[in-house]
Structure 1
Amino acid sequence: MDTGVSVVGSGQVGAAPDVLRMRLSVEHDAADVSAAVAKVAERTDAAIAALRGQGVEASAIETSAVNVFRDYTEPGAPIRYRASHALTVTTKDLSGFGRLLTAAVGAAGNSLGLDNLQFDIEDKSELLTRARELAFQQARTKAAELAALAGYSLGSVSSISETYGAVPIRAFEASAKRTPGMAINISPGEHTVEVSLEVHFSWA
């Protein structure tokens, strides 16, 4: 068994986000399943056209879910069917959220819902490099302290394993159907990348 000490170091680096992602959904229920599907398709196309009209590229609008199901009703009530189409819209215009939401609501009406809103950083490579450096420095400091307490000298690194997570400080959930025509003020805040390293040092 290799002798030495294993420690975990962590490093966090924050930066302003440069990407905004919002998840919009279009829903409709009807007595006939084909009618529900047709109406959702019509209003989804209208919402996409409105977003494209606001300068959103076609490649930045992605279907994230499509559902068609029999809606729950009380026993004896007429059968209803619900269809939905969820879109993930990505933009680098962080101040354009209100304009995009207004355009989508205007096109899809009360069928539109805002399910999620999240800020992100498109390229995290530099942040990850800096976080790794901080994590390793912390791990080495811990290991040196433990080695001194045990009466050993710290040797070379024999293994390293890494985990990391990207944590947006601000994420939102809302519903455009509950706030028709209402301006929603949002703040990007800061996006944090965290790296944890488990490092094993041998004794000198």
Structure 2
Amino acid sequence: MDTGVTVVGSGQVSGTPDVLRVSFGVEQVAPDVAAAVARVGERTDAVIAALRGRGIEASQLGTSAVNVYQDYKEPDAATGYRASHTITVETKDLTGFGALLNAAVDAAGNSLGLHGLQFDIEDKTELLTQARELAFQQARAKAEHLAELAGFSLGSVTAIAENHNQFPIRRAYNASKAVDLGGAINVVPGDSSVEVTLEVHFAWA
């Protein structure tokens, strides 16, 4: 049986976001599947064209979900089919959300839904390094304290397990339909954080 002590340390570091991700959904209901899919395709193409017109490159656009299903209503109501297409936009322009939203609304009207937005940090390497160092410092301090309480001397590290999480700033709007905005909505990014948790086993000296 291994002797020693196992402790958990955590470190969290914040940074300034440099990426904005926005998810737009286009949805249509029609009497048959083909019509629903066709209408969603037309409006999705219009939204993509509008976003490209605002300077968004093809590499910054991507489909994140496509759904087609029967639209269930009251008994005896006409059968319909609902189709939807969700597009995710990634941009470095953190102030351009309002312009993108208005362009998408102009292109799709009430077929558009805003599923959410997220501010994030593209390269978290340095933040993870700093958080890892803080986590190990905390783990060692805990282990030294426990060793002192138990009357032992702390030895070498024999095992380390790491987990890390990120906490980007999110804004979710879960609206099923867009509205006439009349003007741009400006959003302000906050800090984005990463947290590293280390489980460290120290042997007794």
TM-score, structure 1 length as denominator? 0.96
CA distance in 1, matches of 2:179, 2:153: 64
Unaligned runs of 5+ in 2: none
Using the TM superposition, give the Cα deviation of residue 174 of structure 1 relative to its aligned residue in structure 2, in angstroms: 4.4
CA distance in 2, matches of 1:189, 1:32: 45
Using the TM superposition, give the Cα deviation of residue 200 of structure 1 relative to its aligned residue in structure 2, in angstroms: 0.5
Q: Tell me which residue corresponds to 1:146.
A: 146
Q: Tell me which residue corresponds to 1:13.
A: 13
Unaligned runs of 5+ in 1: none
CA distance in 2, matches of 1:23, 1:165: 22
Q: Is the 8 A contact 1:170 1:190 kept in 2?
A: no
1:45-84, aligned counterparts within 5 Å? 45-84=45-84
Q: Tell me which residue corresponds to 1:87.
A: 87
Q: Number of aligned pairs? A: 204
Q: Which amino acid aligns with 2:85?
A: H
CA distance in 1, matches of 2:151, 2:73: 72
- The 10-residue stretch of structure 1 (38-47 or 162-171) with the greater mean CA deviation from structure 2: 162-171
Is the alpha carbon distance of 1:43 and 1:51 closer, same or farther for their aligned partners in structure 2, counting shifts above 3 Å?
same
Q: Tell me which residue corresponds to 1:33.
A: 33
CA distance in 2, matches of 1:153, 1:179: 66
Q: Partner of 1:184: helix, strand, or coil?
A: coil
Q: Which amino acid aligns with 1:193?
A: V
Alignment of 1:162 with 2:162, yes or no, is: yes
Q: What is the root-mean-square deviation in Å for CA atoms of aligned residues? A: 1.2
CA distance in 2, matches of 1:8, 1:171: 32
TM-score, structure 2 length as denominator? 0.96
Q: Is the 8 A contact 1:12 1:192 kept in 2?
A: yes
CA distance in 2, matches of 1:14, 1:176: 33
Alignment identity in percent? 66
